[in-house]
Amino acid sequence: MNYETAMIKLRGEVCSGVKLGLQNIKNLMEKLGNPQDKLKIIHIAGTNGKGSCTSFVNSVLVSQGYKVGMFTSPSIYNFEERIRINNKNIPEDKLIELMNEVREIANTLEVFPADFELVTALAFLYFYRENCDFAIMEVGLGGRLDATNVINKPLITLITSISFDHQQFLGNTIKEIALEKAGIIKDGVPLVLYSQDTEIMDNIMGVAKSKNSEVIVNDLSKIKVLENKKSGQVIDYKDFKNLKINLLGSHQVKNATISIELLLELRKMGFDISNESIYNGFSTVTWPCRFELVSKSPDFILDGAHNIDGIEKFVSNMNFYYKNNKKIAIFGVLADKDYNEMLEKIVPCFDVFLTVRPDSERAMEAYELKEKIEALTEKKVYSFENYQEAIDKAFEISSKDDVISAFGSLYFVGEIRKLLGVSDY
């Protein structure tokens, strides 16, 4: 089921859009019996890395034998993948059953909930009804006013890398954005924090102190990268030696280490989490469209990078893994993103550009993006009306030693993944 079909089934013809604030979701959850208060919740916020950390933690807990609910967004293939238990999508018949129940309750409320509130409520209800041992909840937008923040007392919270994105909702300064993310911190609940810019750290730690929340930060000085190849990475971190990470990029090493810190905190709380499960979970973790190598000869990389921080990490990875290879970009972007700064970082990295229009009302037209790139470089730029034409052209102009990469928005990178025939995850 695609997202549009799912939302029509869930809300009917009501157009509810985006509504930041917690009162609507509180009203809805109360009518549903507050299932979120009966779950052991791991709550994860941040600009980039939320999904990767969610996947690391989920993979380890499932390896340990726990029943784990995982709530993420957006989806790559279908709506059901946003709500998973032990790596299996919610079954469509169960989804429809819960949609009907949530919609019936929502129709009794004075203010009809927003789309994301409905989906969040459905996820909580599903995880509770299925008796999950843990529910890992990824924030949709921000933190403080996000629907997932209806949680009163999570087991633990985690905040990943913070940078500029969604300024129209979260604020125009890094301090404002950091404080929005810090809104998930709860009284007396430990926080695991990604080591990053001092201003960001200070603001978040200030909130944590006011909430009497212990802060655990990953220690970058304890990281030793032993191997970094396209087949995966091997690191030492504290007492973990020769730890294989099945995700590529130096940023994933940092995501792995904060995930370890979170898992060790859960162990301190009394949960059984063996080192063996950590090793197994990290070596088998998957997270699609995050510097994902999906085919070879030529290599084809998919990356959902869509903000400046994500693009910087993506370009760094391209230059590391493919320093001397011809690089072909399939690029599309949303018009409300800081595309000019993105282009400054992307244009020097790639040799040929194929522009497309992501399937979103907010998308920039392919020909407009082509013109903007041509204003910055003499390199060859093509624009395409559909993704398949761009893929075909990329293969036509590439040799087996080149690399093709599709990036700029998860709105279209997931579609490229489907067209390439890559199996679901």
- Give the mean pLDDT per block of 10 residues along the chain (425 residues): 65 54 94 98 93 97 99 88 97 94 94 92 98 97 89 97 61 81 96 94 96 97 97 97 95 96 99 99 94 96 89 94 97 85 95 94 92 97 96 98 94 91 77
Residue 47 has what pLDDT? 87
Per the listing, tokens 């997931």 go with: 414
The H or E element spanning position 85 is strand 83-85
CA gap 202, 213 in Å, rounded: 14
Selection from 207, 201, 214, 200 nearest residue 264 by Cα = 214
Residue 9 has what pLDDT? 62
Q: Measured in whole angstroms, how far is the alpha carbon of residue 239 from the centre of its chain?
A: 28
Tokens standing for 2?
A: 């695609």
Question: 3-284 falls under which CATH superfamily?
Answer: Mur-like, catalytic domain (3.40.1190.10)
CA gap 72, 123 in Å, rounded: 10
CA gap 184, 178 in Å, rounded: 11
CA gap 289, 248 in Å, rounded: 11
Residue 12 has what pLDDT? 54
Q: Where are the domains of the chain?
A: 3-284, 292-420
Residue 418 has what pLDDT? 92
Residue 141 has what pLDDT? 79
In the chain, what is the straight-line distance between the N-terminal and C-terminal CA atoms, in Å?
16
Mean pLDDT of the chain: 92
Residue 20 has what pLDDT? 63
CA gap 16, 4 in Å, rounded: 13
Q: Is 67 helix (H, G, I), strand (E, B) or coil?
A: coil
Q: Is 82 helix (H, G, I), strand (E, B) or coil?
A: helix
Residue 176 has what pLDDT? 87
pLDDT digit string, tens, across residues 56-71: 999 999 999 999 999 9
Q: How many helices (H) and strands (E) does the chain have?
A: 15, 17
Q: Measured in whole angstroms, how far is the alpha carbon of residue 42 from the centre of its chain?
A: 15
> Is 24 within 8 Å of 114 (Cβ atoms)?
yes
CA gap 232, 325 in Å, rounded: 19
Residue 7 has what pLDDT? 61
* CATH class (in words) of the domain with range 292-420: alpha beta
Residue 405 has what pLDDT? 98
CA gap 309, 341 in Å, rounded: 11
Residue 166 has what pLDDT? 45
Selection from 346, 338, 364, 345 nearest residue 47 by Cα = 338
What's the Rg (C-alpha) of the chain?
A: 21
CA distances from 60 to 107, 155, 269, 290, 383 (A): 39, 17, 16, 19, 42
